[in-house]
Structure 1
Amino acid sequence: MLKYGTFIGCLFFLFVLFANAQNGYFLKAGEDSETIHFKFINNLIIVPIEVNGVELSFILDTGVNKPILFNTSGREDLQLFNNRKIELKGLGDGTPVEAIQSSGNTFRLKNLINTNQELYLLTDSNINFSPRLGIPVHGIIGYDLLKNFIVEVKYNRKRLKFHEPESYKYKNCNRCETYRLDIIGNKPFMNANVAFGERDSKPVYLLVDSGSTDAIWLFEDESRGIEVPERHFDDYMGRGLNGDVYGKRSKLKSFTIGNFEMEDAKVAFPDSVSVRHITFKGGRNGSLGSEILKRFNLIIDYPYERITLSKNGNFKEPFHYNMSGIELEQNGLRVVTESTATAIGTVFKENSEDPSGGITFSSSRLLSIALKPALEIAEIRKDSPAMEVGLQKGDIVVSVNGKEAHNYNIQEVKEMLNQKPGKTLRLVVDRNGTQLKFSFKLRQVL
């Protein structure tokens, strides 16, 4: 028999689901699911979204509430509605940034539609993640897109599938584990454990942050035994909303979610200046980033506040830090001269020893001039192999081990710079119009 309290609770829950469905994204009539294919670059999920009829690219970032636009260059056809100026605070060592709050916008991902989307447009053109990714990225989106659906995230297939909660049925899965996902302040949190040594496993409460390219971030807390290990190094950790983020990097003995354990996981401790604008809701100890998340296929269930994990082919990938010390970004264009062999005629001549008649092809080489993306050293780690041989921030990478950098995208060049410990790299760089040669060996940091 259904108790009165349970009945009222069920009615309330159905009301919340109905209210959420009317407030935010909904599926086109007659559809109960939608599949979205994504690009996966530098541990980030990038999805195409139409904003008021203009197609843009967004990072799927579970760590943000409202969508943020930070790069609308070249999209003068984009129109935003109901605008007013505000200030935003986030990660970084700078001050709050000016933004424009806009409401009443229409967002569309195939059959997923929101006709009243609020967003923030950053007015500082220097806040732009496109150079580090090598492709145009216009913004980030999170909670508003996910809150009404059960979302399957297939990292191994680069696919998202959005389901209506009332029609979704969980499949029997012996390799899956389901955990509580707390939605606090429109952001997802879950429990995990970290071990710095053999016998010191500690529970931690982490923001599930698909917009972080790192593995784990922890905030130092001496009272809870969360301290930077003795073996660590100082490093640039990335760009936040309010500026650059710096801190210390190390490795954990192990990182555990339920029965899933990963050894030697990377961990970063952002400095106090970089996180001073963060509100530590729910006793938060840090963040769980995409270098961990990509090792699983996920079912993210905001309506019922749970998350399901199953290992994929990335699970056993080793955790490596940048072995060259070089961080690249795409910065402008450089002039490149290329040559191509072109056949210009065929000559017939008699040759008694050649029964084919001695056909000879005559060719020449044509030179062409092209503009190619310039891959610039944006950051260089102190005491890294690259810094030790004299490479500098601002150098333009021309070639890596004889391979012309302009023939590859930024992710492929990054992989060349971090292939395996002990590998020798020969770099040619352009420094203020002069080409310089450098050679060094890749080295494990920890």
Structure 2
Amino acid sequence: MSKRFSLAIILFLFCELANSQSNFILPNVERTRINFQLIDNLIILPVEINGVTLSFLLDSGVSKPILFNIIDSADSLKLKNIESIYLRGLGDGDFVVALKSEKNVFKIGQALNVNQDVYIITDESINFTPRLGVQVHGIIGYDIFKDFIVEINYGSKFIRLNDPKTYTYKNCKKCETVPLTLVNNKPYIDATVMTTTKNVPVKLLMDSGGSDALWLFENDSLGLVPREDAYFIDYLGKGLSGSVYGKRAKLAQFSIKSFHLNDLNVAYPDSAAISFARKFKERSGSMAGELLKRFNIIMDYSNAQVTFKKNKFFNSPFTYDKSGIILEQSGSRVIKEVKNSSQLKTDQAAGGIMVLEAYRYQLKPAFNIAELRPNSPGAKVGLMVGDLVISVNGRQTHALKLQEVNSFFRGAEGRFIKLVIDRNGVIMTFRFKLESLL
């Protein structure tokens, strides 16, 4: 994608998970609306589990709900019937040990499931909160999509879960409806990409859990490869089984029927990291958040179709990180701030009035460099992994969200960047210009 680690938090479960007999229902209503946060093209929404409200990533590529980062909530969640299993996801690592819990009560808006399985990952290193800058406790996908007709309104940042028995489609001349294929509980659509020489039909996973625009699996015979002089190696994201690296490039055009997007970002992930993904031989790659967010979408598993409509993001430019810097939120740091009101005090000895400034100390997010691309502008000037970023172009980072800090690094080529960092207690200043590699 266009950004620091593209935030491809692509969390597919490629293990064979048994189908549960549980279902979500809408007691006494035909639909329910849930507002969400859109963070780096990812949908973060509230999900209540056994009476505890947590933040979940809506990932259409995941088969069963997964929980992680729940140390503070573990006792109150009262998880039941726990047994150990193994999960496999994207990344260059091995299987992940998890706990399976049965018969949990899930509530999303007014949608209710009183018999929901959930998988708990206890490894504290598997935590996507630092890379997003907002709290994320888990992932959910198929269990929502299988039971409802799901409207995803990226433009207004809400989803609506509709009862398939009562849902009525509106007449929409500006929409395109395409067939949806489900394989191992994951949704695939047919699209077309234009390489440098020809149009190529592709079958893509609809992956709302990835923040890149488009991933393609390299295939020489189909021409799905980047030009030798027009790509660079980059960190693409983090999956359940480790980091994912690959080639970043540009693609001439992407099409779904009459909808065409030009000059978009594409990534070609390393084959080792996606070996499980390629077990579905017809699959050519993934259509992820940076593309999906340009449409308002109706996912209809019951009728095996998906409907797209352009929204306000459709013509937004495709950008990407030009600094080589990947930041993450690494806890908090203490910030000394001046209170709004000052106190006045008469100083008789000095013969005048003295202003007393009142201070307060607050904990604010701390952002450090987690990855640094070799030979990138950031690396060339001497920045190092672990550096704590204090300010960027004069803006104090503690007053910004992580995605706001990262937006500085996705500017135009030649843009000047000034970083003030803390390296083991030593304050240092670095200057560089953004460099386009595509």
Q: Which AA in structure 1 matches 2:170?
A: K
Which residue of structure 1 aligns with residue 409 of structure 2?
417
Task: Give the counterpart letter for 2:393 in structure 1.
Answer: N
What residue in structure 1 maps to residue 65 of structure 2? Answer: 67
Q: Aligned letter for 1:103? A: E
Q: In the TM superposition, what are the counterparts of 1:281-360 in structure 2 within 5 Å?
A: 281=280, 283-340=282-339, 342-345=341-344
Post-superposition Cα deviations, 1:275-333, rounded to whole Å, max 9, x if no partner, equal 12335326111111010000001111111010100111111111111122211111122
User: C-alpha displacement at 1:22, in angstroms?
Assistant: 7.5
Distance 1:381 1:345, change over 3 A: same
Question: Is 2:343–2:358's contact at 8 Å kept on the other side of the alignment?
Answer: no
* Aligned-residue offset at 1:110: 2.4
Question: How many angstroms does 1:341 deviate by?
Answer: 5.5
Equivalent positions of 1:96-115 (< 5 A) are 96-115=95-114
Q: CA offsets, 1:117-152, max 9 Å, x none?
A: 111111211000001111110000000111111111
Q: Which residue of 2 aligns with 1:369?
A: 361
Correspondence 1:439 to 2:431: yes
What's the offset of the Cα at 1:362?
A: 6.2
Q: TM-score, normalised by structure 1?
A: 0.89
Q: Does 1:229 align with 2:224?
A: no
> Structure 2: how far apart are the matches of 1:438 and 1:269?
32
Q: More relative contact order in 1 or in 2 (CA 8 Å, sep 6+)?
A: 2
What is the Cα deviation at residue 419 of structure 1?
Answer: 3.1
Partner of 1:31: 29
Residue 264 of structure 2 is matched in structure 1 by 265
Q: CA deviation at 1:342?
A: 3.3
| Aligned counterparts of 2:353 and 2:53: Cα–Cα separation in 1 | 49
Task: Measure the CA separation in 1 of the matches of 2:166 and 2:67.
Answer: 33
Distance in 2 (alpha carbons) for counterparts of 1:396 and 1:299: 42
Write the distance in 1 (CA, Å) between the matches of 2:102 and 2:353.
66
| Correspondent of 1:394 among 369, 386, 409 | 386
Structure 2 contact 421–428 (Cα < 8 Å) conserved: yes
Give the C-alpha shift of residue 393 in structure 1.
1.1
1:247 equivalent in structure 2: 246
Q: Secondary structure at the match of 1:145?
A: helix
Structure 1 residues 39-93: Cα deviation after superposition (integer angstroms, max 9, x where no partner) = 1101100110111111111000000000011210211312111111011111000
Contact 1:321–1:445 (CA under 8 A) maintained in structure 2? no
**1:257 partner amino acid:** I
SS where residue 99 of structure 2 aligns?
strand
What is the TM-score when the length of structure 2 is the normalising length? 0.91
For 2:421, the equivalent position in structure 1 comes to 429
| In structure 2, C-alpha distance between the alignment counterparts of 1:361 and 1:92, rounded to whole Å | 65
Matched ranges for 1:4-153 at <5 A: 23-28=22-27, 30-76=28-74, 77-153=76-152
Instruction: Classify 1:346/1:332 alpha carbon distance in 2 versus 1 (closer, same or farther; 3 Å).
Output: closer
Q: How many pairs are equivalent?
A: 413
Amino acid of the structure 2 residue aligned with 1:366 = A
Structure 1: distance between partners of 2:388 and 2:145? 40
Identity of aligned residues (%): 46
Measure the CA separation in 2 of the matches of 1:223 and 1:421.
34
| Matches of 1:382 and 1:92, distance apart in 2 | 20
Aligned partners of 1:196 and 1:229 also within 8 Å: no
Q: Which has the larger radius of gyration?
A: 1
The AA in structure 2 aligned to 1:435 is: I
Deviation at 1:386, TM superposition (A): 1.1
Residues in 2 aligned to 1:386 and 1:298: alpha-carbon distance in whole angstroms: 38
Distance in 1 separating the partners of 2:275 and 2:138: 23
Question: What corresponds to 2:11 in structure 1?
Answer: none
- Deviations 1:173-229, CA, capped at 9 Å, x for gaps: 1110100011111010000111121x4110110000000000111111223322232
1:256-287 Cα deviation digits (max 9, x unpaired) = 11111111111111112211233532611111
Taking the aligned partners of 1:338 and 1:445, their CA distance within structure 2 comes to 40
The amino acid across from 1:218 in the alignment is: L
2:200 corresponds to which residue? 202
Q: CA deviation at 1:336?
A: 2.2
Bigger mean CA deviation after superposition, 201-210 or 213-222: 213-222
Aligned AA (1:386): G
Which is further off, 323-332 or 124-133? 323-332
Q: Which moved more, 1:327-336 or 1:238-247?
A: 327-336
Could you tell me how far apart the structure 2 residues matched to 1:373 and 1:180 are? Answer: 44
In the alignment, is the contact (CA less than 8 A) between 1:220 and 1:227 conserved in 2?
Answer: yes
Structure 1 pair 133–111 and aligned structure 2 pair: CA distance change class (3 A): same
Structure 1 pair 289–202 and aligned structure 2 pair: CA distance change class (3 A): same
Q: Distance in 2 between matches of 1:88 and 1:151?
A: 27
Equivalent pair of 1:343/1:362 in contact (CA under 8 Å): no
CA contact (8 A) 1:182 1:190 kept: yes
> Is the Cα–Cα contact under 8 Å of residues 344 and 356 in structure 2 kept in the other structure?
no
**Contact 2:249 2:266 (8 Å CA) reproduced:** yes
Report if the CA contact (8 A) 1:25-1:144 is conserved: yes
- Which moved further from structure 2: 270-279 or 162-171? 270-279
Report how far residue 169 of structure 1 moved. 1.0
Equivalent-residue separation in structure 2 for 1:248 and 1:202 (angstroms): 19
Corresponding residue for residue 12 of structure 1: none
Separation of aligned partners in 1, 2:117 and 2:343: 60
